Amino acid sequence: MSPEIHVPAGAKKRKRFRGRGQGNGRGTYAGRGDKGQNKRSGGKVRPGFEGGQMPLYRRVVKKGFSNYPFKKEYVGLNLRELENKVQDGETVTLESLQQKGLVKKSAQYVKLLGEGELTKKVTVQGLKVSKSAAEKIQSAGGTVVAPEAATSEKSQGSETGDQSKTEGTESDESES
């Protein structure tokens, strides 16, 4: 071992030996006290146990709705990482990202973020894309096809159609 490399002070701490005689300082009761359940071997209680008293997690009322089972956790992926792994003209989907190792196989939802530059023409399908990322993809000559965008366009189209009808009736009323 070279003299320049040394272990910092306090990094190597000796293990305390318990119940191995009086000279140790941890003999006799070995830090477990005099009697009781925790003195015995295997004598532990489960987390949340309050000695027979009704535990807090059962005392507190279960009320309302929790969205926890239905939440969607998105994995963020920057264009910088995409630039290094995709070829020009390639279609980017969740499956292709998993095969390239850009996201874990367990990832269900991915969102492309606009950090970095993209110079390759790619088609993004079925992924959520931030505004800045979409602009960069389109400026590079690529396209963004997301299922969420297709459904939201349809709903927006019907809303704008309804608005134009109502606007027309309002203007007719004001003219007469």
CB 33 within 8 A of CB 40: no
Rounded to whole angstroms, how far apart are CA atoms 65 and 144? Answer: 35
Task: Give the whole-angstrom CA distance, residue 16 versus residue 38.
Answer: 19
73-149: CATH class: alpha beta
Among the listed residues 118, 130, 116, 140, the one whose alpha carbon sits nearest the alpha carbon of residue 76: 130
Distance CA 60, CA 78 (A): 42
Domain ranges of the chain: 73-149
pLDDT one-digit tens code per residue, 63-101? 889 899 999 999 999 999 998 899 999 999 999 999 999
Query: Which band of pLDDT confidence, cut at 50, 70 and 90, is reported for residue 164?
Result: very low
- pLDDT tens digit sequence for 91-121: 999 999 999 999 999 999 999 999 999 999 9
Single pTM value for the model: 0.52
What confidence score (pLDDT) does residue 17 get? 84
pLDDT digits (tens, 9 = 90+) for 34-60: 888 888 888 889 999 999 999 999 999
